[in-house]
A = this chain, B = another copy of it.
């Protein structure tokens, strides 16, 4: 079945100068696919004029653009003809099978949730992304959509993450780790402890508690955490990787001798850089919605945005939404509806 992706052509720091060439490269390698670019035709035409035409690419006019720092509530209420919203509308009305945006994350989440709604059994959507590990990749969620989660929501994240990994990576029963500050059952806050108990009887392949260093060890296929913790872990990682890269660069450019060493080491350093290239992991999935929505990094270049398009395409082809719905439906019914456990301070010991 041919897949149609809607692209928020105006989103991100670079707009059509990135989204247009990325869409064309994507179409060249996906001969059955179609792309609908949502945005201002004049801006899109400027970028299209530099490229070879492709009749599987079309344009859907959207007069407005959501600013990268615009409050999500404003974008939702006031910009009903934004490129971001028009792209999501194309998914809603069935014209497109999924959409990709490099725009304002909060606005994308708010509008996608408002327009598409969540899947049955899902309280709130989450942001899931692949991260590189020593042994391959892991999928972590939530990375910032939900700052206060209940134990039940963490379980829903686990279900959605498992379904995503099963569908896209072809792992039958992905292992699920619950991000905590110790491996023992007694560690962590009340929400995490309650989530661990629920996960044990969830039917998922629950590995147990994991710690921060397990993310990059690749201890589990899925890493579950609340959005505050996940966002801090992700941003901290970005900051550390940037610092280490700059330190390495500084050492190799310190003096003439180190510059000569850099010449010899250049191919090796480039291989290292390719291996950890964040562009390869671009594209976070907004899971839990009635539609495939992928968020690209705002600063993505055409190569990185292309990876986000590939991700949306793979999710559609592999039926991620159906898989999540099936797994949610297969969850054991909660015994006598346990009360939602919320974060609260421990009594002083």
What is A's interface to B at a CB cutoff of 8 Å? 71, 73, 110, 113, 123-124, 132-134, 144, 147-150, 179, 181, 186-190, 211-217, 225, 227-229, 231-244, 246-248, 251-252, 254, 257-258, 260-262, 264-265, 267-269, 271-272, 275-276, 340, 342-346, 348-349
Contacts and interface: CB of A to CB of B under 8 A. Distances in A.
A264 to B, nearest CB: 4
B231 A181 contact: yes
Contact of A225 (B123, B232, B241, B271): B232
B235 A232 contact: no
Given A215-B236, A242-B213, A123 B251 contact: no
Nearest to A232: B212
Contacts of A344: 148, 342-344
Copies of this protein, total: 2
A239 B261 contact: no
Nearest to A255: B268
A126 to B, nearest CB: 14
23 contacts: A132-B243, A134-B246, A144-B181, A147-B187, A148-B345, A150-B345, A181-B227, A181-B235, A188-B228, A189-B228, A211-B231, A212-B231, A213-B238, A213-B239, A216-B239, A217-B243, A237-B240, A240-B241, A251-B268, A258-B268, A260-B264, A261-B265, A265-B265
A340 to B, nearest CB: 8
A254 to B, nearest CB: 8
A293 B286 CA distance: 45
A295 B273 CA distance: 35
The interface centre, meaning the residue of A211, A213, A240, A343 with most chain B CB atoms within 10 A of its CB, is A240
Contacts of A237: 212, 236-237, 240
A251 B232 contact: no
A139 to B, nearest CB: 15
B239 A217 contact: yes
The interface centre, meaning the residue of A123, A190, A228 with most chain B CB atoms within 10 A of its CB, is A228
Contact of A232 (B71, B123, B179, B254): B179
A212 B235 contact: yes
Given A147-B346, A228-B229, A261-B267, 10 more contacts: A134-B243, A144-B181, A181-B227, A181-B235, A216-B243, A225-B232, A251-B272, A251-B275, A254-B268, A342-B343
